[in-house]
Amino acid sequence: MSTVTIDKAGPTRKAKYGSMSRDRAWALRWSYFFLVIFTFVSLVPPIYMLITSLKSSTEISAATNPWWVFHPTAENYVALLTSNQFLTFFWNSALVSVMVVIITMLISIPAAFALSRMRFWGSATIATGIFLTYLIPDTLLFLPLFKMFATFSNWTGIPLINHWYVLVIVYPTLTVPFCTWIMIGYFASIPKELDEAAIIDGASWFQTLTRIFIPVALPGLIAATIFAFTVSWAQFLYPMVFTTSTDQLVMPAGIITTLIKGDVFNWGQIMTGALLGAAPPLIIYAFLMDYYISGLTAGATKG
């Protein structure tokens, strides 16, 4: 009887299974270790913003524990949300971002469709060219762009500099190349037979795009939309350069320009403004996260 029991729990088998699970356990421990560090690093700034936004100016400048709110107050939120100036920044940001997304999509989708599907002379070169333009840093571009807009205004009399709508013209130079590139990759992953079937079914190129490609590539489209929106919403350098009047400013530039007066930093309101400014992209991400992830991993596996 005892012999049988020992055989069943044979030492070799036990060791084998034991080592498998020990391996896995260690892998998990390391994963947790790095994930916790990463999460901590990414979450500390927004948490600090939240804590500071709930403090009064007195408490911020007092030498108390910066990680704790002793007298929570909503005064920063009230001040910002009732200030016409802040609401103008918010409205300008929203207007610019939405218009940039629309313009980007109207250009990128047909461009990507043409470059990925219609074989024409030079299409490969153009596709590479689009990607190369994305590699030029925007810090190099703002000077020539400024000069271009100034000259254009001189010639035509249409004022561009120091108007929010100049950003609607500028931002697509950043968003269109990248979004076109994403969409080319996405469209390329759609089997060629699908558009051939549509064409034989009687669809025109435009119908193939609107009725087959756009619905099938929707995750990629959403990824591109989120990208375009985030870039426009968070852009800091261009609005600082191209707009100066407070009624023309978008949020990132507006917060810095109006809440820092000389060497006086209104930290409570700056943090509140940054937090409120981060809200729209966060909400959009939360809703579209599933699509966004499948958009980024498209083509990784078959089917």
**Concatenated DSSP letters of 236-256:** -HHHHHH--SGGG--HHHHHH
The CA distance from 176 to 174, in Å, is: 6
The two most distant CA atoms of the chain are separated, in Å, by 103
Is residue 221 part of the contact set for other proteins (CB under 8 A)? no
Identify the residue among 109, 145, 212, 224 touching other proteins (CB under 8 A).
212
- Contact flag: residue 300 with other proteins (CB under 8 A): no
Q: Give the Cα separation of 238 and 141 in Å (integer).
A: 10
Q: To which residue do tokens 């700056």 refer?
A: 270
Rounded to whole angstroms, the Cα distance separating 240 from 232 reads: 13
Q: How far is the CB of 228 from other proteins (least distance, A)?
A: 23
Taking CB under 8 A as the criterion, the residue among 44, 50, 71, 196 binding other proteins is 196
Which of residues 194, 237, 279, 283 is near other proteins by CB under 8 A? Answer: 194
CB within 8 Å of 130: residues ≥ 6 apart: 111, 115, 177, 180, 181
When asked if residue 161 is in the footprint of other proteins (CB under 8 A), the reply is no
Shortest Å, Cβ 107 to other proteins = 24
**Based on CB atoms, which residue is closest to other proteins, 145 or 221?**
221
Does 297 sit near other proteins (CB under 8 A)? Answer: no
201 binds other proteins (CB under 8 A): yes
Task: Kindly state whether residue 198 participates in binding other proteins, applying the rule CB under 8 A.
Answer: yes
Nearer to other proteins, 85 or 207 (CB): 207
28, containing H or E segment:
helix 11-53
Spatial distance between the Cα atoms of 134 and 176, rounded to a whole number of angstroms: 9
Task: Output the smallest distance, CB 179 to other proteins, in A.
Answer: 21
- Of 206 and 287, the one with the shorter C-beta distance to other proteins is 206
Distance in Å, CB of 205 to other proteins, minimum: 10
CB of 291 to other proteins, least distance (A): 13
Buried-state track 122-158, b at ≥16 Cβ within 10 A, e below 16: eeeeebeebeeebeeebeebbeebbeebeeebeeeee
Among 6, 200, 286, 300, binds other proteins (CB under 8 A): 200
Confirm or reject binding of residue 216 to other proteins (CB under 8 A). Answer: yes
Closer CB to other proteins, 216 or 288, in the complex: 216
Using rule CB under 8 A, residue 191 touches other proteins: yes
Cα end-to-end span (Å), the chain: 54
Which CB, 218 or 284, lies closer to other proteins?
A: 218
Query: Closer to other proteins at the Cβ: 191 or 262?
Result: 191
Give how far the C-alpha of residue 43 lies from the chain's centroid of Cα atoms, to the nearest Å.
Answer: 17
| Residue 100 touching other proteins (CB under 8 A) | no
- Contact between 119 and other proteins (CB under 8 A)? no
Cα–Cα distance measured from residue 253 to residue 222, given in angstroms and rounded to the nearest whole number: 27
For the chain, the 3-state helix, strand and coil shares in percent, each to the nearest 5, are: 80, 0, 20
Q: Which stretch binds other proteins (CB under 8 A): 137-145, 203-211, 263-271, 289-297?
A: 203-211
Name the residue nearer to other proteins (CB basis): 193 or 263: 193
Q: How far is Cα 25 from Cα 230, in angstroms, rounded to an integer?
A: 38
- List residues binding other proteins (CB under 8 A): 191, 193-194, 196-204, 207, 211-212, 215-216, 218, 303
